Structures are given as C-alpha cells and as structure tokens.
Chain A
Amino acid sequence: MVLILADQTDGQFKKTAFEALSYGAKVAEQLGTTAEAVVLGTVSADLSALGKYGIKKVHHAANESLNVLDAQLYTRVIADAVKSTEAKVLVLPHNNTGRAIAGRLSARLKAAMVPAAVSLPDTTNGFVVKKVVFSGKAFANVSLNTDIKIISLNMNAYKAVAGEGMAEVVQLNVNVDAPKVKVTATEKVKGEIPLTEATRVVSGGRGLKGPENWGIVEDLAHALDAALACSRPVADAGWRPHHEHVGQTGIAIAPNLYVAAGISGAIQHLAGVNRSKVIVVINKDAEAPFFKAADYGVVGDVFEVLPKFTEEVKKLKGA
C-alpha cells in the first residue's frame, strides 16, 4: 500500500496535497497496490472527496494537538500509521511541512528517503527516483534501498488529476501529548497566491529602479493571475518583502510561466527559477545572461513593455 500525507492548512487542502495524492495513486498503480491518505488535525474540508485523486481510504487523526506543526508529534503519528497500515511507500509534499518531517520519518522508520523528488519511481532495477540537485541545475537518480520507501515530492513536479471517486474515511486513533512547541503568534500571507503554489509568476529586478515602480509589475501579475517574485537585491534593499525573493538563497519555484522583468539572470537567480516551464525575459540589455535561459525574450525598457504586455493580456482575457 502507498500512504500519502494530505497536508492541510487551516483545515483546507491545497495544490501540493492534490499533487501528492495524484502522484501516490500513480505509484500505487505502478506497484499494483492501493493508495490511502493520512490527514492530521481538524479539517473543515470534505475528506471523502479526496477519493477524486485516486485514493481508497483516508485515515484521519483529528486530534487538536496536531493543528500545530510539532515535528516530533507528526513523525510519531505518521510513522505509527505507516506501521499499522503496513504501507510500503510513504509520499509527502516537499513543502514546509514535508521539510520538517521527511527526514525525521526516515530516521524513525529507518526507511530510505528521497527529498525534492521530481519523477515517478523507476522500478525496473530496484526503486529509483529522480530528485533535484545543485539547486535545479541538475538531477540525481537516487536508489532507495530499504523495505519501506519515503518520497518527498517537489512542488509542481507532478500534475494533480481529479477524477471520480469517494474515499472511505476512518478515524486514526492516536495518543498524542500536548505539543512541545507553543505557537505564540501567526502571520499568514493573505490575499495573494503563495509563490510556491502559483502556476504563473511575475518577477521584478533592479531594473525596476525602485519600489514605487512596482505598480506595472503588479498590474501584469494581476492580469495573468500570477504571484509576485523578485531578485535578491530587490528584497535586500527592502523594495519587496523577503518572502518574494527567489533564487539559490531564496525560494525555488517551478511555475508554468515565469516572467522576469529587469533581472539580469545571474546564476544564483536562475538556480531558483530554472525549473519553470516557460520563461519570458524582458531586459533592455540584449546581452543580459537571462536570455540564454529564456523561451521568449523582449529587448526593451520595462517601463514601456510591461504596460503594453498587460494591455494585450487583458485583451486576450476579455475576448
């Protein structure tokens, strides 16, 4: 059996959960077995609806203690679920939750784990999964050499596919202590599409000259239904919030469309965005290194090009 952590945020499931479920269901199909999900904490979403992603059963540990990401508690509960269900493969999303617990689960279960996975397992000779290495500049084929295998699936690496189906929901009875981690404040990123979830991203660099000019970037992002990002110097200068910084030392993203405006395309910047499916670069310097990594390039002034680009997108949408 393949067990998948359907990670929830504030009682709801997001794209990463659906990707992990669809991926896990496919792995199960490949192995000729079934897929089931585990859900931790209280949820408002309809759990049986997770069946749409190809899973048969949802194990729900509804304890309130699990509404806080206490890596120790999460690990204990999920490891016990793996054991009690006799799961052979565990799939997690490689998001902030996965990063907190995938390594712990590996150590606890003494199970081989592949982080930042981007492919289905190749089982022709062992169990081999491709992962991102060198910040997206290369891939490694990792063999998982234990009986139980853990896959932490990179975001945007597998497309969620919703079909028909309802999952059976069963309570997972667990005894958990109060979390050792006490949450004293929370700040949610509101109103915007979180960068790592976004299918389209519009990003600005130093070529924008100052924070007061971000309106034209925001307008394009709005028209495209895209999230906002920026280069590191832009975040360092305080023009944009730190959580928008993409690259080697910022966030790594893999959207379908990445639009880079006034960004030179330094190798450390590319490291965070080179897994984007389609890259559009707008730069006034025809020699900017970013053009080498681009699919579509525009040599021009961002202050003229961006508003025109936005206008044409609106025309398309209006049509």
Chain B
Amino acid sequence: MKILVCISKTPDTTAKIAFKNGNTQFEETGVQWIINPYDEWYALVRAIELKEKDPSTILHLVMVGGADAEPIIRKALALGGDEAIRINTTKLQDSFYVASQIAEVAKNGGYDLIFTGKETIDYNGSSIGAMVSELLDLPYISLATKFDVQGSTATVTREIEGGEEVNEVSLPIVVSCQKGMAEARIPNMRGIMSARTKPLKVVEPIEADELTGINSFELPPAKAGVKMISPDNMAELVRLLHEEAKVI
C-alpha cells in the first residue's frame, strides 16, 4: 500500500495574531511554526501506525510551501515516513491552487490512500482534501475519527450531521482526519537522526488558477470588559443575562 499524507505548516497554537501592511499580511515576527496539529496528531500518526502494522507500506509526505517550510517537514519525517515531497511555491492563499499542486503529485504517485488533516488552524478551510479528491475523481471521507484497512477495503468512522457512521469503501480514497484517529506521539532520537537523511524532493509547481484572494484581515472587536458578580448573588447574574444580555 502507498500512502500520501498532506502536511501543512501553521503558527503555534499560542502565537499572537497580528497583521501588518494595512492588515493585508500576517505578522510573522516572533511566531513559532509547527506542523498543523490535525496533520501531525491524526493524519500522520495514523499513517505511521498503518505502516507499523504492514511494513511493506510506502509512506510519503507532501507539503506545498517555500524553503522556509523545510524544518517543519523534517520534523514530520522525524515522526515517520519514507520520503517527503515539497512543492516549491509561496503562493499559499488560494486553496484551489494548493490543491491542484497536491493533486498533481498524487496523480503521478499511484497512492492508495491520501490523508489530510480536518483543517488548518490558520486558514480554517476544511477544503483542500475535498478539492484534491474531486481533482482526482476519488471518494472523499471527511472528518474521519477511526480508520482501518483490510486488503483494498477501508473501514472508516466519520462524523456526519447528527452523529457518526461507519463506512466501507474501496481504495483509492482521500480521507480528512480528526481527533480519535490516533494518539499524539513525540519523535524519538532515532527518528530525529534518520529524518536528516531521508529524501526530501523539491518539485516545481504546475500552472494552476487562483480563484480567491485575501483582501485584508481584521481582529474581532475588543470585549467591553468583564462585569464581576458576587458568588452570593446569582439572582443578579440571572437578571443581567435576562435583561441586559437577553440570552435567557
């Protein structure tokens, strides 16, 4: 079996969110970058577990990004995977453009399984996996919480409106992964050492359209400030929620 895991780079979850150049760009100064948590904890770790179960599995990682993304993809390789492919572009604002790049690599790689994270924690798109699956005309199982494979049939638990369901579907497929798929791991020394020598191929992007653009960013309006209420006066809290906030 051949698996491709899509890895993206995001600001650390505690990073300060600020913008520059007339609110058109994210202020990157001082920001720590991490592997997007959904890609790392759920997609990548589950793929590594599948490879541990069946060592003949080939596991590739793909990232669309500039050279500055290489430390992140090395970090991912330290967790596991045989090789990584970086598609060399810094045009990352339009999801369709990014998805077209991933689909091109996937098309040429003959993968049985393509894993993405549920969403990136910076753009919150939840859309690249769906786009890649359409570009490849493959089934898409979104928001998976459990995944197993037997021969060429995958059994996937996924979230749908109002609950969860278990699906059976033939490979090849695209799956977006979220909590439940796997438990987060930390890389060990051997992984970190071996990651340095694993192949990291750089390919140039293909021509693709950008369908959207980001005109500007904005921060939510500041809260008016907290109103403190004595723990002995819950009647006052309920009155405020009823009369002032009008939420009960």
Contacts and interface: CB of A to CB of B under 8 A. Distances in A.
Interface of A: 7, 9-10, 14, 16, 69-72, 75, 94-97, 99-108, 110-116, 128, 130-146, 180-189, 194, 200, 224, 242, 245, 248-250, 256-257, 267-268, 271, 274-275, 277-278, 280-281, 291-301, 304-305, 308-309, 311-313, 315-316
A101 B126 CA distance: 10
Ranked 3 nearest A-B pairs via Cβ: A103-B130, A300-B231, A103-B127
Given A257-B248, A295-B223, A184 B218 contact: no
Interface stretch (B55-63, B80-88, B185-193, B209-217): B209-217
13 contacts: A71-B141, A94-B126, A107-B131, A110-B211, A113-B95, A135-B124, A136-B220, A181-B168, A185-B165, A186-B163, A295-B224, A295-B227, A315-B238
A280 B228 CA distance: 10
Contacts of B38: 249
A10 B163 CA distance: 11
A249 B117 CA distance: 11
B112 interface: no
A181 B142 contact: no
B45 interface: no
Given A103-B99, A103-B131, A142-B212, 13 more contacts: A103-B134, A107-B135, A115-B124, A137-B220, A138-B217, A140-B123, A140-B218, A143-B213, A145-B213, A181-B168, A187-B165, A242-B179, A267-B13
Interface stretch (B1-9, B64-72, B195-203, B239-247): B239-247
B235 interface: yes
Contacts of A293: 223
Interface residues of B, number: 79
Interface in B25-50: 37-38, 41
Given A99-B126, A181-B141, A292-B226, A278 B245 contact: yes
A181 B167 contact: yes
B213 A142 contact: yes
B238 A106 contact: no
Contacts of A75: 134
B137 to A, nearest CB: 8
Among B11, B170, B237, residue most surrounded by chain A Cβ atoms (within 10 Å): B237
A316 B231 contact: no
Contact of B13 (A96, A242, A268, A294): A268
A138 B17 contact: yes
Contacts of B121: 134-135, 248, 271
Among A141, A146, A181, A309, residue most surrounded by chain B Cβ atoms (within 10 Å): A181
Contacts of B213: 142-143, 145
Contacts of A100: 130, 140, 142-143
Nearest to B215: A141
Given A104-B133, A133-B124, A9 B161 contact: yes
A267 B210 CA distance: 33
B247 A277 contact: yes
